[in-house]
Amino acid sequence: MAAKAVFILNGPNLNLLGQREPEIYGRTSLADIETATKARAKELGFCVDFRQSNTEGTLVDWVQEADTKGMGLIINPGAYTHTSIALLDALKAASIPKIELHLSNIHAREAFRQQSVTAGGVDGIIAGFGAPGYRFALEALKSLVESRST
């Protein structure tokens, strides 16, 4: 049986990375982030299931799938961070280690972006480091997985 994957889920508009507000989100595309993330995951000894959707219900379905098929979850909920009770409920129901990730420092942004509705459903948050944040999230997730297995 193949090893369980780390699910990395990306929310709305992250497919536009590199084009959308590069002064905030950087010039690295989501495809470039995926390539770098998969390479780092391999170095850490696990595989990645990397996905993006602009649809809230799809992200909820994927969180539920990650809970049954994955070893851990990293989620960049995008704008759903600030609005999605459905995503929060799915995250709270999932028993695997979970990390919320943001490219920008949401606490230094507009007031409406400073509140994370979804934060209550994850083990930790990484924000403000741009594309390298995905690498940091993988390393933190590895630590969470290892601490739960001992």
Structure tokens at 52: 């993006």
Distance (Å) of CA 103 to CA 75, 124, 131, 137, 143: 11, 15, 6, 11, 21
Query: Of 25, 80, 82, 134, which one is the catalytic site residue?
Result: 25
Contact in structure between 27 and 93 (CB atoms under 8 Å) = no
Residue 102 a catalytic site member: yes
Residue 80 a catalytic site member: no
The beta strand positions in the chain, using DSSP E, are 5-10, 48-52, 70-76, 98-102, 124-127
Query: Of 82, 102, 107, 134, which one is the catalytic site residue?
Result: 102
CA distance 129 to 51: 20
Residues involved in catalysis: 25, 102
